Structures are given as structure tokens and as C-alpha cells.
Amino acid sequence: METSKIQELIAAARKVRENAYAPYSGFGVGAALLAGDGQIYTGCNVENISYGLTICAERAAIANAVAAGQRVFKAIAIIAGTEDCCSPCGACRQVLVEFGPDMEVYLVNLRGEYIMYTAAELLPNSFCKL
């Protein structure tokens, strides 16, 4: 993917991270998802005192895009407030691979440095559609 598009995704993820609701962990995460038609959809984590009800940024972005009628995704950028790149949880990995094993997943640190994996690389031997 073009460097300018990657930087656009990173900027969108960084901006939406500011909206994260993380009063329990203090660990805000932002995600920006590039749909097949070029639209960008964002999501941030939304915690709950009953921790199992917490919504991760990655799944929030996917849900936002699906609610808008999207089903094809090219890439996602994920940023947390960390010096190291932060990897998605297992549930998010499964949701990402469901929508595209070849989706590019950019894990971004606070300096804007990133590592790229495909969704399938992050979750080998995932559950798959029949």
C-alpha cells in the first residue's frame, strides 16, 4: 500500500484514540480501517466496569464499517499509548481474519513507527467460514 495511505490511516487511528473510554485500564487504543472503496472507518476502545463487556478499537472500527454497509477491507492501523507496537487481542484477530485473511494490519507505536502483518499471519489456523 502507498506510504501516504498508510500515514492517513495512522493519523486517523491516532486521532480517534483520543476518544477512547478507558477509565479502568488507562489504555486507550485507536483503529482506522480502510474499506475496499477507499473509505476510512474508525473505532476506539470502550471499557466497562464489567470487563468482559469492553469493546476493542479494532472491533469497533469493523462494526462501524459493517453498519455502513461495508464488507471488504484492505488494511487497518492500530495505535495504543505505547513505545512498542501493540498487537490485537485474540478476539480481534479472529474478527479481522473473518473479513480478510490478506488484510494488512499495521501495528503502530507512539512515534508512528509500524510493523505490518496480514490478518492470517496474526492468527494462523483461525476458525474459518465453511
Distance CA 74, CA 118 (A): 10
* DSSP conformation class of 116: E
The answer to the question of whether 125 is labelled as a binding residue is no
The answer to the question of whether 64 is labelled as a binding residue is no
Task: Point out the residues that are catalytic.
Answer: 58
The answer to the question of whether 49 is labelled as a binding residue is yes
The answer to the question of whether 85 is labelled as a binding residue is no
The answer to the question of whether 89 is labelled as a binding residue is yes
Distance CA 9, CA 115 (A): 14
Burial of 77 (0-12, 13-18, 19+ CB in 10 A): buried
For 44, the enclosing helix (H) or strand (E) is strand 40-44
The answer to the question of whether 46 is labelled as a binding residue is yes
Distance CA 69, CA 111 (A): 33
Cell matching residue 46 = 470502550
Instruction: Return binding residues.
Output: 45-51, 56, 89, 92
Residue set of the binding site for substrate = 45-51
Enumerate the known binding-site residues for Zn(2+): 56, 89, 92
